[in-house]
Structure 1
Amino acid sequence: MNNARTRLPTLARTLDALYDAVPAGSRLLFDFDAMELAAHPQALAMMGPAFHVREPAGFAPLLGRWTPTAEGIVPVARWRPDGPPEDVPDAFWGGVAVRQPGPSLTGPRRRRGTSPRSAWRRRRGRGRRWWRRPPRR
């Protein structure tokens, strides 16, 4: 279990870095295995020693700035089922989180024509192709 505790800050940092890397309105789909899976030792044995399970209530803080949708974090078998949900253990949970609109990562947009290169072009004459001038006579 120590190994799982050391990975939680890493997961939170990774999700935070991902939040900074994507545009506003992006969606993050996630799933994880809950403590109910511990009741099935054969499944845990197949996963290997690096595998660990989480409590659903403990996953929400790991999302950080990501905002879960209105459906929240729910058992995967009950998320938007076609018909009545199957009667299976709630061992697999998941959800969707959204990156909310916020300040741009690249800063404010400049108005067109306000870059230093645009100013240089204006000094040379707007719309004229000064490098293709006809030869002087």
Structure 2
Amino acid sequence: MIDNETNTLNINLFPTVTTLWSQKKLLDNFYTIGELINNTFQPDDDKRAEFFKSLNLIIIYNGNHSSNVALYENNNHIENFNTYDISHWFQEIYYDPKTNTLNHLTCGKTLKPNPLFHENLGYIYEISRLLFQNQIS
């Protein structure tokens, strides 16, 4: 959840996507970050995220490798994040798993960019859309 007192986002409470591009960097972070070596994950200006409130999804776009390591520890949070509510999309946009795209319900046109970088994002979107439409929180 978002801690309103400290304005931080706990990355362990929601599905979190980090885009990793270096296996070496990830392994190095496992050796240099963590409670076992008395160097816990530090939220700082380098770590940035987008929180899609209506999806309960966090996408980390800076500090990916260290944030990924932090997911293995408890009580980890990010201070620099933007919050988005895309629930207004749920009446007009659906996920098509055959094309891995988000499309308009009425005209069928695909939203850009297409396709999604991972199909699981589409499944999360569609589950969130169905929960929202059925007023299940």
TM bracket, shorter-chain basis: under 0.3
- TM-score relative to the length of structure 1: 0.24
Give the structure with higher Rg (CA).
1
**Between Structure 1 and Structure 2, which shows a larger proportion of helix residues?**
1
- TM-score relative to the length of structure 2: 0.24
**Between Structure 1 and Structure 2, which shows a larger proportion of strand residues?**
2
More contact order relative to length (CA 8 Å, sep ≥ 6): 1
